């Protein structure tokens, strides 16, 4: 019915504000009083939502107990798998207990929302460097060289620009109307990627230092090969987070 669709669209607005700043899996009951509100069919909805998301970023940077939102800076991802089977860079790269720093510095450049189709697009610039810090395990081939190792990793990306597209659809769960995030597309660009992988080649320092130097000299070619897999892995992670939120709204 129209009222149900209107309710779902309102829930999508509320949850999107929380989601865009990577809300943790928890029920989104209602926005705190200091959050900016946007009406569904405001003619200046995109401008309103841009301001609301930027406002939410400030409010949620260190978490919001009333929303059940954990800190977004750093954002903890328990497990992230990048599995690239073919091509010049063919690796299996497992991250565990990965902390992503810098997301709280995001500035929203553009928002385009179509609530009738449950579609939202966001362009953002991450002002501070994005740092991925956690445990890794890698095995495979990078360009012409074999690579293997496990231990602590640090990946730093500078001047990151991101594009996010969120596509939802209505669903019923336990007789209640909810939103389901059907697609979460992520694309990003960076001016520089610095890679530091500790304990490569069973702790052989000379081989490890040479490989890290090689990775940093060739970061653009490596990122070009790995980027679709990275974006897909992160997109699936954020989609899962999104659905844990939306299915409770």
CATH topology of domain 2-246: Bactericidal permeability-increasing protein; domain 1 (3.15.10)
Q: What is the pLDDT of residues 51-87, one digit of tens each?
A: 777 777 776 666 666 655 667 788 888 898 999 878 8
Looking up tokens 């979460």 gives 184
Q: From its phi and psi, is residue 87 left (phi > 0), alpha (psi between -120 and 50) or beta?
A: left
CA angle 78, 126, 95 (to 5 degrees): 20
SS (H, E, C) the chain: CHHHHHHHHHHHHHHHHHHHCCCCCCCCCCCCCCCCCCCCCCCCHHHHHHHHHHHHHHHHCCCEHHHCECCCCCEEEEEEEEEECCCCEEEEEEEEEEEEECHHHEEEEEEEEEHHHCEEEEEEEECCCEEEEEEEEEEEEECCEEEEEEEEEEEEEECEEEEEEEEEEEEEECCEEEEEEEEEEEEEECCEEEEEECCEHHHCHHHHHHHHHHHHHCHHHHHHHHHHHHHHHHHHHHHHHHHHHHCCC
The yes-or-no verdict on residue 23 having pLDDT over 80 is no
Number of neighbouring beta carbons within 10 Å of residue 154: 14
Residue 188 has pLDDT above 90, yes or no: yes
Report the pLDDT averaged over residues 134-151: 96
Mean of the per-residue pLDDT values for the chain?
A: 81
Q: pTM of the predicted model, to two decimals?
A: 0.80
Is the confidence at residue 7, as pLDDT, over 90? no
Distance CA 167, CA 21 (A): 16
Least confident of 37-41, 47-51, 142-146: 37-41
What percent of the chain has a predicted confidence (pLDDT) above 70? 74
Instruction: Supply the pLDDT for residue 50.
Output: 80
């Amino acid at each position: 019915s129209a009222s149900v669709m209107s309710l779902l669209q309102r829930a999508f607005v509320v949850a999107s504000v929380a989601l865009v700043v990577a809300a943790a899996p928890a029920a989104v009951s209602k926005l705190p009083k200091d959050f900016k509100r946007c009406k569904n069919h405001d003619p200046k909805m995109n401008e309103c939502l841009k301001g609301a998301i930027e406002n939410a970023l400030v409010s949620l940077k260190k978490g919001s107990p009333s929303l059940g939102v954990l800190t977004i800076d750093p954002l903890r991802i328990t497990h992230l798998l990048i599995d690239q089977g073919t091509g010049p860079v063919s690796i299996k790269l497992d991250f565990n207990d990965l902390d992503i720093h810098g997301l709280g510095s995001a500035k929203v450049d553009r928002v385009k929302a179509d609530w009738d189709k449950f579609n939202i697009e966001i362009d953002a610039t991450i002002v501070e460097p994005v740092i991925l810090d956690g445990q890794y395990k890698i095995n495979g081939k990078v360009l012409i060289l074999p690579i293997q190792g496990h231990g602590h990793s640090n990946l730093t990306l500078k001047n990151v620009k991101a594009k996010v597209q969120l596509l939802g659809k209505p669903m019923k769960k336990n007789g209640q109307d909810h939103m389901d995030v059907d697609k979460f597309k992520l694309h990003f660009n960076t001016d520089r990627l610095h890679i530091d992988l500790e304990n490569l080649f069973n702790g052989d320092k000379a081989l490890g230092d040479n490989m890290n130097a090689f990775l940093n000299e060739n970061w653009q070619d490596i990122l070009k090969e790995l980027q679709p897999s990275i974006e897909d892995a992160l997109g699936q992670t954020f989609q899962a987070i999104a659905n844990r939120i939306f299915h409770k709204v």
